[in-house]
């Protein structure tokens, strides 16, 4: 029997988080047997950048890596305007140290950079100079790509990063990491949602 931690994904939520950046990811995870639980700094409701009100399922203090298959961190200007969201970056460190993967997109990559989590890992973001402004030491590991997965080392968890304009590539990396689709279906999924390739729909329907 599959444990709940193997099929539970945690999505960090905070005021003005960019709700579109993980829409593909969470929608298709829930369609494939995963449960998405939202995590806030507290259990108080937050409002997304799109104006949606979200009631967190749990507070950050309640989150444990052993209860999760993945932690997802989304973008918001809050990553660059103070230390309010730093606890989420520290949570990401605890996940990676425990061997549980983390996926960060847009401004969340800067939060991880400030926490030192990108110094020794291949990664990407919006642009290289955005991360350079954090003063981090990982500039040589920056990759010009839509999304990057670094498998980690010494038992550490895998880390996915992406820029704000790549929600589909971000989702693709998450699905590949978690084994949501086999290689053929994953390729078709990406071609359908990224390239509007109608022929890919036939592949998806035929699997």
Greatest CA span in the chain, whole angstroms?
Answer: 49
Measured N-to-C along each axis, helices 86-97 and 107-114 cross at an angle, to the nearest 10 degrees, of 70
**Angle (nearest 5°) at CA 15 between 14 and 18:** 80
Q: What is the CA radius of gyration of the chain?
A: 16
- Look at strands 8-12 and 70-73 and give their pairing: parallel
Helix (H) or strand (E) holding 163: none
Task: State how far the Cα of 190 lies from the Cα of 53, in Å rounded to an integer.
Answer: 29
Residues designated as active site: 106
Question: Residue 34 in contact with residue 2, Cβ under 8 Å?
Answer: no
What single string gives the DSSP state of each residue in 167-186? HHHHHHHHHHHHT-S-HHHH
**Three-state DSSP class for 123?**
strand
């Amino acid at each position: 029997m599959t444990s709940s931690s193997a099929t539970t994904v945690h999505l960090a939520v905070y005021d003005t988080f960019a709700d579109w950046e993980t829409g593909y990811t969470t929608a298709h995870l829930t369609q494939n047997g995963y449960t998405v639980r939202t995590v806030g700094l507290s259990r108080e409701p937050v409002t997304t950048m799109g104006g949606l009100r979200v009631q967190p399922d749990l507070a950050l203090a309640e989150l444990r890596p052993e209860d999760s298959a993945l932690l997802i961190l989304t973008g918001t200007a809050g990553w660059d305007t103070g230390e309010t969201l730093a606890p989420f970056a520290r949570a990401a460190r605890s996940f990676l140290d425990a061997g549980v993967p983390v996926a960060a997109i847009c401004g969340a990559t800067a939060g991880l950079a400030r926490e030192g989590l990108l110094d020794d890992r291949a990664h990407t973001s919006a642009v290289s100079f955005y991360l350079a402004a954090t003063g981090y030491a990982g500039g040589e590991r920056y990759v010009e790509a839509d999304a990057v997965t670094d498998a980690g080392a010494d038992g550490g968890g895998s880390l996915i990063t992406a820029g704000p304009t790549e929600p589909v590539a971000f989702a693709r990396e998450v699905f590949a990491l978690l084994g949501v689709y086999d290689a053929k279906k994953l390729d078709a999924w990406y071609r359908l949602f990224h390239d509007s390739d109608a022929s890919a729909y036939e592949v998806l329907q035929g699997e």
